[in-house]
């Protein structure tokens, strides 16, 4: 081989090496289990998780594949937090409100009694410091939480008997979620948190006297109307409810920027999808519930005023007992006060 040819070959090799060095390494494809706290067949609560899985696959061109694992398939519904934290599973579909036993501040990232509607809530998460605070709370547990869905206002409960005064609530045993449960305890209700699949049997057997769970379209599918005929609104305890994709923090940190952006973008889209779907499916459900003999009630102003007063007591106790709750509450309250400047001018009353 001539000197000229050798020089040309060597030059080409150097260029090829430089190009290879400049190109990022091929990202490792993700093939994960995603445990869930909700059955995939449950309207919105589960179906939004299924849509998330499908769109991550499509948007990533097959490089991000999550398998939706039904509650109990890998771990019980209310044990997915520990499984993700330990790395036993890579991810889970849930809501931060289930993990108040780990840190009560997490309840403020799920649903806030007498709190914001979905648009205001998400504005705080995305632009008011909410996501940063969520990251701060989850980081010691080894979890990254991405807000990845929302549902519209819920009902505030199914009761066997009509509730005419706050005293009618005293002594009831009721399934209740999140911070709202603490309010109900203040008015004499004995509350417990049950996973979705466990509620109907408990209501049917009389282990509980009443329950709240979700929106009309979801409650209809679970058949609560067969046992309790009095259905109350508005959902003062959950004007909007946020859902999360929990990811083991080591797995999250091991991704490249494109993969993390894919998760964030698909979660943003899932949030919008869930909000639109939730608003579109409630009225038909309410019509059907009425046709099945359900009595639909609204709380009296007096009862709502009492519940709001008790909520103030709960906030004071939580702020005094948990510095992280106090920090998140201060952030959310400050944002809401500023948001009201715009809301009061921009929106019809």
Does the CA dihedral 288-289-290-291 come out positive or negative?
positive
pLDDT confidence tier of residue 27, bands split at 50, 70 and 90: low
Q: In what helix (H) or strand (E) does residue 148 lie, and over which residues does it extend? A: strand 143-151
Q: What average pLDDT score do residues 101-129 get? A: 97
Query: Quick one: which of 96, 177, 78 has its CA closest to 137?
Result: 96
pLDDT of residue 7: 42
Q: Is the dihedral of CA 182, 185, 189, 195 positive or negative?
A: positive
Question: How far is residue 118's CA from residue 97's CA, in Å, rounded to a whole number?
Answer: 16
With both helix axes pointing from N to C terminus, report the angle between 118-127 and 130-138 in degrees, rounded to the nearest 10. Answer: 70
Residue 55's Cβ-side half-sphere holds a number of Cα atoms within 13 Å equal to 18
Q: Do residues 96 and 87 make contact, with C-beta atoms less than 8 angstroms apart?
A: no
What are 16's two structure tokens? Answer: 């090829």
Q: What is the pLDDT of residue 204?
A: 92
- Are 251 and 84 in contact by the 8 Å Cβ rule? The answer is no
**pLDDT tens string 155-175:** 999 999 999 999 999 999 999
What is the mean pLDDT of the segment spanning 276-292? 97
* Cα 298 off chain centre by: 25
Average pLDDT over every residue of 92-107: 95
Could you state, in order of their start, the residue ranges of all structural domains in the chain? 30-152+239-280
pTM exceeding the 0.75 threshold for the entire prediction: yes
Q: How high is the pLDDT of residue 225?
A: 95
pLDDT above 80 (res 85): yes
Q: Record the tokens describing residue 27, joined without a space.
A: 């990202």
Is residue 312 predicted with pLDDT exceeding 70?
yes
Query: Is pLDDT above 80 for 6?
Result: no
Looking at the chain, the whole-number percentage of residues with pLDDT higher than 90 is: 89
- Is-contact 155 237, C-beta < 8 A? no
pLDDT band with cut points at 50, 70 and 90 for residue 197: confident
In this model, does residue 16 exceed pLDDT 60? no
CATH 1.10.10.10 fits 30-152+239-280, yes or no: no
pLDDT digits (tens, 9 = 90+) for 231-276: 999 999 999 999 999 999 999 999 999 999 999 999 999 999 999 9
Q: Given its phi and psi angles, is residue 44 left (phi above 0), alpha (psi -120 to 50 degrees) or beta?
A: left
């Amino acid at each position: 081989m001539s000197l000229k040819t050798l020089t040309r070959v060597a030059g080409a090799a150097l260029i090829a090496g430089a190009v290879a060095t400049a190109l990022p390494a091929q990202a490792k494809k993700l093939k994960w289990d995603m445990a869930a706290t909700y059955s995939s067949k449950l309207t919105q609560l589960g179906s939004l998780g299924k849509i998330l899985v499908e769109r991550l696959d499509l948007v990533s061109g097959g490089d991000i594949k999550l398998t939706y694992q039904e509650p109990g398939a890998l771990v019980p519904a209310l044990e997915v937090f520990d499984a993700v934290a330990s790395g036993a599973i890579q991810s889970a579909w849930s809501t931060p409100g289930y993990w108040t036993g780990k840190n009560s501040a997490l309840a403020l990232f799920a649903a806030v009694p007498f709190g914001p509607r979905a648009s205001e809530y998400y504005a705080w998460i995305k632009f008011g410091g909410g996501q940063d605070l969520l990251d701060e709370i989850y980081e010691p547990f080894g979890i990254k939480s991405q807000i990845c869905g929302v549902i519209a206002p819920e009902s505030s409960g199914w009761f066997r008997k009509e509730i005419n005064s706050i005293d009618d609530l005293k002594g009831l045993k009721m399934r209740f979620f999140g911070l709202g449960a603490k309010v109900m305890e203040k008015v004499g209700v004995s509350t417990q948190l049950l996973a979705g699949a466990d509620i109907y049997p408990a209501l049917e057997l009389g282990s509980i006297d009443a329950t709240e769970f979700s929106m009309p379209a979801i409650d209809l599918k679970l058949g609560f109307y067969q046992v309790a005929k009095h259905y109350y609104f508005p959902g003062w305890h959950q004007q909007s409810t946020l859902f999360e994709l929990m990811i083991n923090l080591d797995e999250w940190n091991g991704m490249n920027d494109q993969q993390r952006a894919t998760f964030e973008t698909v979660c943003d889209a899932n949030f919008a999808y869930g909000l639109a779907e939730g608003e579109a499916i409630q009225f038909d459900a309410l019509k059907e519930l009425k046709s099945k003999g359900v009595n639909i009630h609204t709380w009296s102003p007096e009862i709502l005023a009492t519940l709001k007063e008790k909520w103030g007591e709960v906030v004071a106790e939580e702020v005094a007992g948990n510095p992280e709750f106090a920090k998140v509450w201060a952030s959310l309250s400050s944002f809401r006060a500023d948001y009201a400047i715009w809301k009061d001018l921009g929106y019809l009353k």
